[in-house]
Amino acid sequence: MVKEQYKNVAVFGQGFVGLPLALSFAMRGCNVYGVDVVEPLVNDINNGITHHTEEFEGKGIREILREQLDAGRYRATTDMEEALKKCNNIVVTVGIPIRNGEHDLSDLLGCVTVIGKNLKKGDLVVIRSTVIPGTTEEKLLPILEKESGMKAGVDFYLAYSSERIAEGKAFYEFAYMPTVVAGINEESAVRAKELLEVVCKADVIVASDMKIVETSKVFENVQRDVNIAMVQEFARFTEALGIDIYEVIKVANTHKRVNLLTPGPGVGGYCIPNAYHYLEPKARELNVDLDLLKLARLKNSNLPNIMVNMLESMLLKEGKTLEGSKIGVLGLAMKDYSNDDRISPPIEIVKILQRRGALVFAYDSAVPTEYDFKVCDIIDALKDKDAIMILAKQKDYDNFDDKYLEVISRGTVILDTRNLFEGKEEKLKEYGIKLMKI
């Protein structure tokens, strides 16, 4: 049973984090406004349309969305003032984009300014955006106090709680991933903890300082960036040695204190590629070197070029050049089984291929974005191609059977960055297809 003071919730930002979070509150009996500035997105959501691939307890996100709309517990809106008038619990998931290595706080600051202007006595504001450590206290708190004319921790409550979900598992991880929170004072932390416990059934851990939670969130993402850079170097080593990196990783991971990631075509999505750039401004301010983290980021950002160079080497062995070759691509999402193409390595790979004169025919059944190189049928991405790149898995071809192999021309080369053809190497040879895995 939800306490009355936590029943009305406004979630600002209705993207990959905000929409599943808003629906998670609605499923637990809250009255939720999902606030976003993008009117077509809001209209689609209110009509039960979303392209997210989330699911929870046997239901897809579209079914969950329709149920909560029909029950009147959730609706999306562009009217920030109305949502703030009706709700006393405000959760902010608005992101900080990185452009050319520089962070842009304008969306988040603009959102918090509107919240401050409409803040009511006793309201709770919880920031769940990934931010530069210190942002909540140094940037957002002054805006909220100035615009509202009230004092944080006395007249209204302010807390920071890191978002820790993986896309595709958002509902589950909001419910069962331990959540960390800290407040501007003890009362703020207590109120935020109680609000988060409406959704989170795992531990809600209260830290002593908002900067600790902000920093731990960025560290969580940066360590994956570094680990990915490491395993990519392992992959280059095993390729030169002539052994299978995936089998090496499988063997190494039998050690109980080892957990190597698997290599791929690059590092994508909104979180991991941006993480270093959330640390770097504060490190510069504090005169702290982050040389190892910077090197990992640089290496990972160059992976799309490395993938294209590997494909070119395969083609040259067949007496073909990259320029003028027909290249089929499977997967445009930033990771397997996702519809998210933000900061997507496959998209960057396609752009490099096109710049170098290749003709690209890319297929992805989940990514809704229209591209001039995108085809609607997987066969169009496979048939009569000089080369095929596997860049992300989707459910409709993760069991790559003979009906697909039969349309691939003999002599086609395949660069498999997702280990799609594990155990099928001999079958590919039968079809005259040359495979390279990374």
User: Which of 151, 175, 208 delimits the end of a domain?
Assistant: 208
pLDDT value, residue 98: 87
Neighbours of 8 (CB within 10 A): 18
pLDDT value, residue 70: 98
Q: Are residues 18 and 160 in the same domain?
A: yes
Q: Are residues 242 and 198 in the same domain?
A: no
- Mean pLDDT, residues 5-11: 97
Specify if 365 maps to a domain: yes
pLDDT value, residue 402: 87
Q: How confident is the model at residue 294 (pLDDT cuts 50, 70, 90)?
A: very high
Q: What is the CATH number of the domain that holds 409?
A: 3.40.50.720
Specify if 216 maps to a domain: no
pTM for the whole structure: 0.92
The total number of structural domains that make up the chain: 2
Over the stretch 299-311, which tens digit does the pLDDT of each residue have? 999 999 999 999 9
pLDDT value, residue 345: 97
pLDDT value, residue 270: 84
Residue type present at position 50: T
Q: Cα 379 vs. chain centroid, distance in angstroms?
A: 28
What is the rounded CA–CA span in Å between residue 349 and residue 335?
14
Over the stretch 185-220, which tens digit does the pLDDT of each residue have? 999 999 999 999 999 999 999 999 999 999 999 999
Over the stretch 349-399, which tens digit does the pLDDT of each residue have? 999 999 999 999 999 999 999 999 999 999 999 999 999 999 999 999 998
Specify if 183 maps to a domain: yes
SS3 98: strand
Alpha helices in 140-185 (DSSP H): 141-148, 170-176
Q: How confident is the model at residue 144 (pLDDT cuts 50, 70, 90)?
A: very high
Q: Are residues 261 and 351 in the same domain?
A: yes
- Mean pLDDT, residues 37-61: 96
Going by C-alpha positions, the residue among 76, 24, 17, 70 that lies closest to residue 46 is 76
pLDDT value, residue 30: 98
Specify if 224 maps to a domain: no
Q: Are residues 113 and 171 in the same domain?
A: yes
pLDDT value, residue 1: 81
Over the stretch 260-289, which tens digit does the pLDDT of each residue have? 999 999 999 888 999 999 999 999 999 999
Per-residue H/E/C for 252-265: HCCCCCCCCCCCCC
CB 371 within 8 A of CB 336: no
pLDDT value, residue 269: 87
Domain range spanning residue 284? 229-437
User: Which of 147, 173, 208 delimits the end of a domain?
Assistant: 208
Q: Are residues 79 and 179 in the same domain?
A: yes
Q: How confident is the model at residue 150 (pLDDT cuts 50, 70, 90)?
A: very high
pLDDT value, residue 87: 98
What is the rounded CA–CA span in Å between residue 127 and residue 224?
23
